[in-house]
Structure formats: C-alpha cells, structure tokens
Amino acid sequence: MLREHEIEIRVRYPECDPMGFLHHSRVFIYFEIGRTELLRASGGNYRQVEEQGLYAVVVEARCRYYRPARYDDLLRLKTIVTRMSGYKIEHEYQLLRGEELLCRGNVTLALVDRSGQVQPVPEAWQAEFAKDSAAAETTSIGDGQD
C-alpha cells in the first residue's frame, strides 16, 4: 500500500458558497476522494474491502484552514498515511493551490464488520505499511551526497 498519493481537483461551482469560495465542508469530501484514490493507486479499492466484509468508518476528522480556494481553482491534494496500528488508520491531507498550502487535515479511520463490530487492520496492510515506512525513512536519511 502506498504511503502517499497526490491528485488534482478543480473546484466546481456547486461546491462554493455565495462569495465564490470553496465551502469549508467540501474539503472533507475531497479528503475522502484522496484516500479512495490512494487505495486505487495501491492496486485495491474500497469495493474489494467491503466484499471482504470490512467497512472503513471515520472516527475523527479535523481540518485547519489557512487560505480560501475559489471557484475553478485547480488544486492538488496530497494524501499521506501517517500511522497504521492494530485498529486505526490515520491520514494527513494537504490541499494546495500551486505551492500555497490552503488547508491541512487529519482523518482517523477504524474498520468494522457488517454488524458494526470493530475489526483489526489486516496484518498484510500493517506489514506493507511498515515496509514502506522503513523504506521512506531509509531514503530520507542523509543529504544524498557521499
């Protein structure tokens, strides 16, 4: 599973408030699109997860807004898996216009079964995340000059 993925999103007219700014609630929809596309880029999709009897539910969501997005802005959304533990998956999101950070958010997911009982994050996912995290740490150590 990828740790990080980036997509482009264009702000659509119905997502804006009367002043032409992206409505604050819409970024959470963007965050969901980001994590869906991260999973897809990793070779999976939420339909497959649900067919296994697991459902991802949001247990915490936060966002800090720095600058507004406007109608028709082309934005970049970075989605980063920051932590994966026995029962939780944590994501960080960065919404940018060019290099300007517009907002930063965090969402924590838990997995539940069809009856709503919390289920552990599959061991294969945790192992893949640990492997990718170790690789990311290794490549970021030092300045790359010998």
Give the pLDDT confidence of 50-103 residue by residue, as tens digits. 999 999 999 999 999 999 999 999 999 999 999 999 999 999 999 999 999 999
SS3 49: helix
Give the pLDDT of residue 144.
47
Rounded CA separation 43/27 (Å): 25
Given a contact cutoff of 8 angstroms between Cβ atoms, the answer to whether 4 and 81 are in contact is yes
Rounded CA separation 14/94 (Å): 22
67-100 residues labelled b (16+ CB within 10 A) or e (exposed): ebbebebebebbbbbeebeeebbebbbbbbbeee
Count of CB atoms situated within 10 Å of the CB of 57: 11
Domain 4-136: give its CATH superfamily: Hotdog Thioesterase (3.10.129.10)
Given a contact cutoff of 8 angstroms between Cβ atoms, the answer to whether 10 and 73 are in contact is yes
pTM of the model: 0.88
Residue 128 confidence class, pLDDT cut points 50, 70, 90: confident
- Whether the per-residue pLDDT at 125 is higher than 50: the answer is yes
- Whether the per-residue pLDDT at 140 is higher than 60: the answer is no
- Whether the per-residue pLDDT at 35 is higher than 80: the answer is yes
